[in-house]
A and B are shown apart, each in its own frame.
Chain A
Amino acid sequence: VVNGATRSDARADQTGATAVHEPLTSKEGWRRFIDATDDPPPPLSAAEAAAVTPLEQHGVGERRLGYHGRLAVVATPTVQQIALAGRRLMVLNRHQISARRGLIVTGGAGTGKTTAITQLGRAHELFQRLRAPDGGPRLPVVYVTVPPAATPRMLAVEFARFLGLPITTRSNITDVTNAVCGVLGACGCELVIVDEIHNLNLATRSGAEVSDQLKYFSERLPATFVYAGIDVERRGLFAGPRGSQIASRFATIATSPFPYGTQTQRQAWHALLATVEQTLRLRAPRPGTLVGLGGYLHQHAAGMIGSLSHLIRGAAIDAIITGEEKITKAGLDGVQLDHAAEHQHGAKTARTGRRTPRRPAGAA
């Protein structure tokens, strides 16, 4: 009995060890991200809602809060463009023996770079799973970030950390690089996503060495490399001989705030809002609310998809907590946004002297 208890305790400890926070930059966290389903909780009618006990009601509410906290990703034109470009490059690179082409996603903070590249990785991994359901250990996608003030060894260790390879202080960079390349080659890696590439400063010696290390990885691994970072052109990623080599091999896709100038651009924004509204699961929604507030939402979120997502999710969660169960302009006003969006919103309001722009013609 004592032995049995010890074993079950050990198993519980083991479960506890794996249940700790797993970031996206680890294969377990990445797998959880891939496996996460965005199925909305079933809607309850008023009669059904009245029939459930308060405890069950609490549970349903918690589930709905969780759902609105993460809401489904909407395929914006940028997400679609990056997915298509990434897929095209992977097919082109499949038969290349060297000098594989890559993709750099650049743009301001909150413009949806990370969302777009992770969606590209997710789509590729799901496709590979369908193609080879049980073909041994498979890691078709690797997602790492460049750490601040990175050195080549730190970058190699980031790859090893994603894989879960035990790295001791005794391991030198050659050991780590060989282990990473060996395992990724054996696991059929086809897409390497390197985020926060703006942490790479080619003007410094360590930054240049990290760039060389990335180049070495791209030569050793038969994979397509996708980089993402904030305004990488202005940060000198393409400067100097190393930069010119990157520039000659990587296509660039710029993400920017959603435009709201022409009629076509407004229609695209409203289509996006309509799609977001369809994913909401509030009990007393007023259809067309978000589209009706299109101009206000664009100004409030400064056209940033990240800020818009935060704004709508925040208002939806507030609506569930307060029991209002619908999104209103007052509710949206109550959500505190990031400093950049608030700052821009404040500046625009001061310039136009109006809190909300006129509704476009034809909007509900």
Chain B
Amino acid sequence: MQPRPLPVNVPLVRAVTIDSYLARLAAANHLSLPDFRAHLGLPPTRNGRVDLNRLLVMTGHQLDRLSDMMVGAGPWPGRTRVSPLPASRPACRRCTTARGIQGDVYRVSTDLRVCRPHRRWLGSLGDPHSEQYDLSPLPDVVHAQRRQHRCYTVMAATSADRRSFGLGASATAGPSGATGISTASGASRATSLRSPATPTRPPPSRRCSTTRRP
């Protein structure tokens, strides 16, 4: 069956995982997720390869924009299919609600645990039901996150391998019209620097400063 544009599209969030995006797309169109995944050539389980051409037709996005916003959406050179990335953390629910997004959005941001504008703990990696706690009584945690981000920025500027820090291969920012969640969430500013269409892997879970858990 030839793919056709879906009636309802959902906004793209920077660094969103393919699994999260597909789940939101299916929910917005009142489709069962296994059926929707089957339509994209994906098995009902998490492991599989997305037929990106079908997804581009169904969402109306351009390949560059999709791969810029979505981690793992950009195919490796010479390939047209990509594998979804499993490691994800819920985006700040206050940021997504402010953008009119219903339901959780999962992003690849292994080292970004705090939403700085809203001062909230984002939850544990890979735990879809984790609570997002208020960090107002624990300013040290927010401060630590800020220091970590600053540290990453400095290290990335001096490092040849920017991809290791989730900052992309070059210093150029994404398209100015990108409406990533990064505009609302300072905690994700590091990922907002990712260059378009750069095949990226999730940054390694390294720390440059101590981060206290609440």
Give A contacts to B, CB under 8 Å: 2-3, 6-7, 10-11, 13-14, 17-18, 26-28, 137, 139, 163-166, 168, 170-171, 175, 178-179, 181-183, 186-187
Contacts and interface: CB of A to CB of B under 8 A. Distances in A.
B138 interface: no
Contacts of B53: 10, 13-14
A-side binding surface: helix, strand, loop or mixed? helix
B32 interface: yes
B6 interface: yes
B151 interface: no
B35 A166 contact: yes
Interface residues of B, number: 27
A76 B53 CA distance: 46
Contacts of B7: 27, 137, 139, 163-165, 183, 187
Contacts of B58: 166
Contacts of B2: 17
A165 B80 contact: no
Contacts of A165: 6-7, 29, 31
Nearest to B53: A10
Interface in B89-126: none
Contacts of A181: 30
Contacts of A28: 4-5
7 contacts: A17-B3, A164-B4, A166-B1, A171-B35, A183-B29, A186-B30, A187-B7
B87 interface: no
A128 B1 CA distance: 32
A13 B52 CA distance: 13
Nearest to A13: B53
B63 A168 contact: no
Nearest to A27: B7
Nearest to B1: A166
Interface string B45-77: 000000001001110001100000000000001
Contacts of A179: 29-31
B8 A2 contact: no
Contacts of B36: 166
Given A17-B57, A18-B57, A179-B29, A26 B4 contact: yes
Interface string B1-21: 111111111000000000000
A163 B4 CA distance: 9
B63 A7 contact: yes
B30 A182 contact: yes
Given A10-B63, A168-B38, A137 B8 contact: yes
A285 B61 CA distance: 49
B214 interface: no
Nearest to A166: B39
Contacts of A187: 7-8
B93 to A, nearest CB: 21
A85 B149 CA distance: 63
Nearest to B31: A179
A170 B5 contact: no
A7 B1 CA distance: 22
B198 to A, nearest CB: 12
Contacts of B5: 18, 27-28, 164
Contacts of B63: 7, 10-11
A187 B28 CA distance: 11
Among B2, B35, B36, B78, chain A packs the most CB atoms within 10 A around the CB of B35
A14 B63 CA distance: 11
Contacts of B28: 186
B197 to A, nearest CB: 9
B159 to A, nearest CB: 25
Contacts of B8: 137, 183, 186-187
B35 A170 contact: yes
A104 to B, nearest CB: 27
B11 to A, nearest CB: 11
Contacts of A10: 53, 56, 63, 80
Nearest to B39: A166
